[in-house]
Amino acid sequence: MKKLILSLLLLLLSWPGLAEARYEAWGQYVARYEEENKYLKHELGTIVFLGDSLTEFFPFEDLRQRYNIINRGIRMDALDDAMERLKPSVLDIKPHKVFIMLGTNDVCAYWLPPEEVVARYKLLLTQIQASLPGTPVIVQSVLLTTDKNYNEYIRPINEGLFKVCREMNLVFMDHNTSLQDGAGLAKIYTTDGIHLNKRGYQVLTSNINRYLASPVVVQYEGKLIFSRLVGTGEDSSVLVGARSFAQATGCSLEWSSESNELVLRNKTGELLRWENDTNFFVSADGDNIEWSVEPVAFEEQIYLPLESLAEYLGYSLEVSEDKRHIEVVIKKETLPESGGASFFH
């Protein structure tokens, strides 16, 4: 409780009239960015992370082993602050990808209405799209807290951001499904009810790693599904993570270490079953499913061939011309509406 109160007091330091609205070294950070950009703009494959303290204190060591990560997080920043420094923080680098996590201080320090936060976020995203056309932009969810009052603001903000991302053809990455305990941010992932501890950042790192490793962007109704590619050239096939697919489509994925069984189901019943000591999945009718390619296990995740999975479950696939984006589309006449997602480990 003492840690939460201390964290709230630190956030309130940015309230107009009580203290400076920005971190005291804000200008020094921006000046440093301008100097760094003199050489960063010539580097290839840069991935910029724009945000507040949740980004500034992100331990990027694991991601930097594979990717050229540029951290442009400044503690106490709200959306307007990030907008003012957008050019030196992001645009001047002309990055390969942009990840954004903002909005926490707009709620916790300023108590802005959700619709105002979403509107400010959209202005920021519009500016990025106009200045960096074609650059992938990944909007990360505003993280829930352990405080239900904050969460009442945060949940509609995320709903609004999800809709904005669909309208603007951007990726929305929802970390909350991996961090929450039902009521809000699980205590095992936080230091003070708002900020993340090492374990919490490991969850974010895993999600980001899976996205960056995905060869194509696969989505269902705007929800991201992690993917992998097997084979090369014309013989390549897209595989999707079973847990990620279940989460996006509203199915449940159940895994029992005792029985070594994985079961995918929706509210109408069981859809697929897999036993770890077999090389095939069994359908609800008891038939063995013939995959276009064999499912594979990677980093403790099971990946299934998307084409076969969609065909069996009654989905169609809309593939972009460059084959880098796939939208999974439900066929309502063949697949009943599914229930909420749940995962058991």
Residue 302 bridge partners (DSSP): 297
Domains contained in the chain, CATH given? 2-213 (3.40.50.1110), 220-344 (no CATH)
Cα dihedral value 141, 254, 62, 93, nearest 10: -30
**Longest Cα pair distance anywhere in the chain, in angstroms?**
68
Q: How far apart are CA 198 and CA 189, in angstroms?
A: 7
Phi, psi of 265 (to 5 degrees): -145, 160
| Count of residues making up the chain | 345
Q: pTM score > 0.85 for this model?
A: no
The answer to whether residues 51 and 23 touch, using CB atoms and an 8 Å cutoff, is: no
Q: How far apart are CA 19 and CA 68, in angstroms?
A: 36
Residues 6-33 have pLDDT tens digits of 454 444 443 333 334 789 999 999 999 9
Q: How far apart are CA 276 and CA 259, in angstroms?
A: 9
pLDDT in tens, the chain (345 residues): 445 544 544 444 433 333 347 899 999 999 999 999 999 989 999 999 999 999 999 999 999 999 999 999 999 999 999 999 999 999 999 999 999 999 999 999 999 999 999 999 999 999 999 999 999 999 999 999 999 999 999 999 999 999 999 999 999 999 999 999 988 999 999 999 999 999 999 999 999 999 998 888 999 988 999 998 887 767 788 999 888 898 888 888 876 555 567 788 776 776 777 766 555 666 666 667 777 788 887 767 788 889 988 888 888 999 998 888 999 997 654 444 433 333 222
The answer to whether residues 211 and 203 touch, using CB atoms and an 8 Å cutoff, is: no
Strands 171-173 and 137-140: parallel
Q: What average pLDDT is seen over the chain?
A: 85
Phi, psi of 318 (to 5 degrees): -105, 115
58: number of CA atoms within 13 Å, CB side? 27
Cα dihedral value 203, 50, 30, 195, nearest 10: -40
Residues 190-237 have pLDDT tens digits of 999 999 999 999 999 999 999 998 888 999 988 999 998 887 767 788
Q: How far apart are CA 32 and CA 92, in angstroms?
A: 13
Residue 232's Cβ-count burial label (10 Å; 0-12, 13-18, 19+) is: exposed
3-state secondary structure of 173: strand
Q: How far apart are CA 161 and CA 155, in angstroms?
A: 10
